[in-house]
Structure 1
Amino acid sequence: MSHSTFTDLLKKYQLGTATESERKVVEQWYALIEEEPRILDPEEWNTVEERLWQKLAEKTGRPADPARVAAVPRPQKLTRYVVAATFLLAAMLLGFLLLRYPGEKAPADTGAIAGLKSVRNTDEKEISVLLEDSSTVLLAPGSELSYPEHFRSDSREVYLSGEAFFVIARQAGRPFFVNAGKITTKVLGTSFRVKSSHDGAEIEVSVRTGKVSVYEKARKNNGRPDKTGNSIILTPNQQVTFREENGAFITGLVENPEILPEATRQHPVLFDYRDTELSKVLADLKKAYLIDLELEKKSLGDCPLTANLGGKDLFVQLDLICAAIQGSYQIQGTTILISGRGCE
């Protein structure tokens, strides 16, 4: 196995993106050097590789050189050392073959990431996970969350496979990172949902409250997340879908936008209108949902509206508005465009 394959596999194992067969290979390495799996700094990877080959040398009585250890011995009487070497090398070659020719694709799954606590929801309903910082995670059925028992002093970081809704405790100067597949979501204090497909090829992030930064995941030399490539900022009732095949971020609105309590707490809006200009109605909706609502023609804003929109979902409210102005609406990214004949 080449040095690059070795380090790439260690990276995947630590990030929780390794398949079941890949995880078994890495755990086999750790077992060979008699060490518990843990998070390693990149500087330690070479040391682990050297120890691995040294252990092979000790067990086989041959030089600690990968090229020599892997060489086919000349025909000779099989000693117990050669037998031991045969079994060890067979195990490593089996691991390599599993990586190169895995057969049926293994499902994306974080498993138990070294050095982290891992919770998998085997129930049929969401379960609640309370983190050290008082943040709460509602973990969907079949999903898994990995997190440290104690967060770093300057950041908080977890790993998700599947779907979860996060309610993050705000801590200035201590951002919260959610790693899911190939993207990272960064927040300070907010509530949002992350949902990844079974194979990690498509990941969706939707925001309930606060502001969220989503970007393709990379690693600095010290192993901590860093921004790179595409990135986007999301606000309440917005969502983004990341597609691994082309690295594209597709923005839009959540399926069912909700009124933000903080937006109407001091000045509640009843949404009950009598001959009210449409521009005023849309201003109320913008304030309540924090969603951009635009008119195709400015003159539409002068149209009077008489309707009780209270207690109805946003899209039902829009249907009633469009019926009154003989119009329609379109969702364009994170903006809703309203058009119509007007109030002639």
Structure 2
Amino acid sequence: MKEPIRIDLLEKYIKGDCTEAEIALIKQWYLSFEHEDDHVSALSPAREKELEEQIYFSIIANLDLADAQPGTEKPAKVIAFRKWYAIAAAAVAVLALSVLAVIYTKKTDPQQLAVSPVNDVQLFNVTNSTPHIYKVTLPDSSSVWLHPSAKISYPNVFADGSRQVTISGECFFEVTKNPKRPFIISSRSIVTKVWGTSFLVRDDEQSNVADVSVLTGKVSVSMKPSGKNGVISTRLTKDEVMIYPHQKAVYLNDKHLLTAQQVEATSAVKQYRRLHLVFDNKPLRNIIPVLDSAFNVNITISNEKLNHYILNADFEGFNLPDVLDAIKKSLNVDYTIENNHIELK
């Protein structure tokens, strides 16, 4: 039996108040379950679905969020999001010791997490193999949203002189300001240096084009040094292109050409604007057009009954991935995203 972790520490982690050392401790505890029997993988799909529903309805009953019980018809779902998040945070801490070992160590976990020790530093490699957007919180409290198939590699503790990560695919960053420790992103063909900002990086093996778009603040972009021993400077150099909001740096791999362009905010960047949207007992069919307009996306529903779900939602300071995650968890619906098209099902 693993040594249980303190519940107050889990509550701090959920709230984002942990120190880097406490984050490393929680991740070490989480990974300690990797080789234990998860009690789930051997179940049939039908039994696994039954267990999932039992856990879901047990949580709902205990939190008094709804009157629905297994075997009864579910009413139209009504969720007050502020209350839901506050209660859910406490519920996760209480249920952690009995449930996390079962759910988080499932061998089918779509967010693949690998840990590679490098000297005394642990390197975390996260791959988003889901059709959703997946959020990662870094040791300095910076946030990264990984789009489907995107990857990120980062240490459990950043170096004293800089904060360096490696990515592949499409990732949106909100970086914690720290002028003394520049934040540096290395991808296949470009290097992005951050000066306290939020921005989108797209660079993967399948595309000839890499680009960086800024939502707030400023970043500098340069071509990645050639060769395995190419050194990345932590200082601003003359070869870098500085970009600001409504600008985009574009690198063409075949031409080895890096340019800055003046652009309107793209739909990919608009998805990360933090807005205040309030819906007072509105059906989902009336909420979707508002989200489409606010985030410049196209949301469709594959299951007609979802249109009748009623939401009482206060999305204060939410970006689109936050909204989708809240709807997914509270209404027990799934979604897929490709570019600016989203399907709820």
**TM-score normalised by structure 1 residue count:** 0.40
- Bigger relative contact order, structure 1 or 2 (CA pairs below 8 A, ≥6 apart): 2
* Greater gyration radius: 1
TM-score by length of 2: 0.40
